[in-house]
């Protein structure tokens, strides 16, 4: 991580320029997309335009539960989620699973360590991703200061997210964890009183928050009875009282 930050800082010799939807640079057609910090952490997610050349990457279709890469694989590529949703997880020696983060359309999945995957990435639903090799990313960092700045920002955000996640998992109660999780995902949507489409299962949420699926279902049902949220179906939740949800979250 430290080496990556030094490389990015060295490449960021100028401030980022204003962005538009399409860009031309050295003959390359550039596509402007958005990325969000993985799993959004405890703070509101910060969206920023990420400019990547479409033709440099290679698109792939992942079927539900199909792995993009496995823990221990030699892979230092970057992956942009074009559509669908993925989860990043690790299987513990005793068979338990820890879900580290979720990715949705527009999110960038970057390697956690040089040359080796620390987690397994799987599609939650049928998804489309675009792969960018390390050499392509290195070229963009050197030739486009704006991309370098955004990747540097993403690295800083991940450090902040890791610190916040330790608080969520280490100190918060089950009610507080689930309220925090709902607020994080609600913050990704533009409208107040938001309707959230959440493709992950109760088991996925439980393994992300360090709870059981039964506890997740129980707390969500309690929030529904108290008119804090409305459970429309297994994957659709509407936030009815955001102030009360923030109070429950312990924020």
Residues 93 and 190 in one domain: no
Of 69 and 33, more confident: 69
Average pLDDT over residues 34-41: 35
Residues 143 and 30 in one domain: yes
Q: Which CATH number belongs to the domain containing residue 205 in this structure?
A: 1.10.10.10
Average pLDDT over residues 133-160: 86
Give the pLDDT score at 111. 73
The per-residue pLDDT for range 104-123, each reduced to its tens digit, is 988 889 876 666 888 999 99
Q: In which band, very low, low, confident or very high, does the pLDDT at 86 lie, cut at 50, 70 and 90?
A: very high
Q: Which CATH number belongs to the domain containing residue 95 in this structure?
A: 2.60.120.10
Residues 237 and 192 in one domain: yes
Q: Token pair of 37, please? A: 């910090």
pLDDT at 230 exceeding the cut of 70? yes
Residues 38 and 143 in one domain: yes
Residues 61 and 114 in one domain: yes
Q: In which band, very low, low, confident or very high, does the pLDDT at 132 lie, cut at 50, 70 and 90?
A: very high
Provide the residue range defining the domain that includes 99.
2-165
Average pLDDT over residues 77-87: 94
DSSP 37-105: -TT--SSPP--EEEEEEGGGSEEEEE-TT-EEE-TT-----EEEEEESEEEEEEE-TTS-EEEEEEEET
Which of the given ranges, 101-105, 183-187, 210-214, has the highest pLDDT on average? Answer: 210-214
Contacts of residue 57, Cβ cutoff 8 Å, sequence gap at least 6:
80, 130, 131, 132, 136
Of 138, 165, 192, the position where a domain reaches its end is: 165
Give the pLDDT score at 113. 64
Distance CA 209, CA 201 (A): 13
Residues 124 and 158 in one domain: yes
Residues 73 and 135 in one domain: yes
Of 146 and 35, more confident: 146
As for how many domains the chain has, the answer is 2
Of 165, 188, 218, the position where a domain reaches its end is: 165
Q: In which band, very low, low, confident or very high, does the pLDDT at 201 lie, cut at 50, 70 and 90?
A: very high
Q: In which band, very low, low, confident or very high, does the pLDDT at 41 lie, cut at 50, 70 and 90?
A: very low
Give the pLDDT score at 193. 58
pLDDT at 15 exceeding the cut of 60? no
Residues 16 and 130 in one domain: yes
Of 165, 193, 218, the position where a domain reaches its end is: 165
pLDDT at 22 exceeding the cut of 90? no
């Amino acid at each position: 991580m430290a080496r990556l930050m030094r490389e990015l800082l060295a490449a960021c010799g100028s401030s980022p320029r204003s962005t538009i939807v399409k860009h031309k640079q050295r003959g390359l057609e550039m596509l402007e997309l958005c990325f969000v910090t993985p799993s959004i952490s405890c703070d509101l997610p910060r969206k920023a335009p990420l400019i990547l050349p479409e033709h440099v990457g290679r698109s792939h279709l992942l079927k539900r539960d199909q792995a993009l890469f496995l823990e221990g694989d030699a892979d230092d590529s970057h992956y942009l989620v074009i559509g669908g949703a993925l989860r990043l997880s690790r299987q513990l020696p005793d068979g338990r699973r820890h879900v580290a983060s979720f990715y949705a359309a527009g999110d960038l999945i970057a390697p956690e360590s040089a040359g080796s995957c620390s987690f397994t990435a799987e599609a939650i639903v049928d998804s489309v991703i675009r792969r960018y090799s390390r050499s392509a990313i290195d070229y963009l960092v050197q030739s486009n200061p704006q991309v370098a700045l955004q990747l540097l920002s993403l690295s800083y955000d991940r450090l902040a997210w890791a610190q916040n996640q330790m608080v969520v998992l280490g100190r918060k109660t089950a009610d507080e964890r689930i309220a925090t999780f709902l607020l994080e995902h609600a913050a990704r949507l533009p409208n107040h009183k938001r309707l959230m489409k959440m493709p992950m299962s109760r088991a996925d949420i439980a393994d992300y928050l360090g709870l059981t699926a039964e506890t997740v279902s129980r707390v969500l049902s309690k929030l529904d009875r108290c008119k804090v949220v409305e459970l429309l179906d297994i994957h659709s939740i509407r936030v009815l009282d955001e102030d009360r949800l923030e109070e429950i979250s312990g924020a």
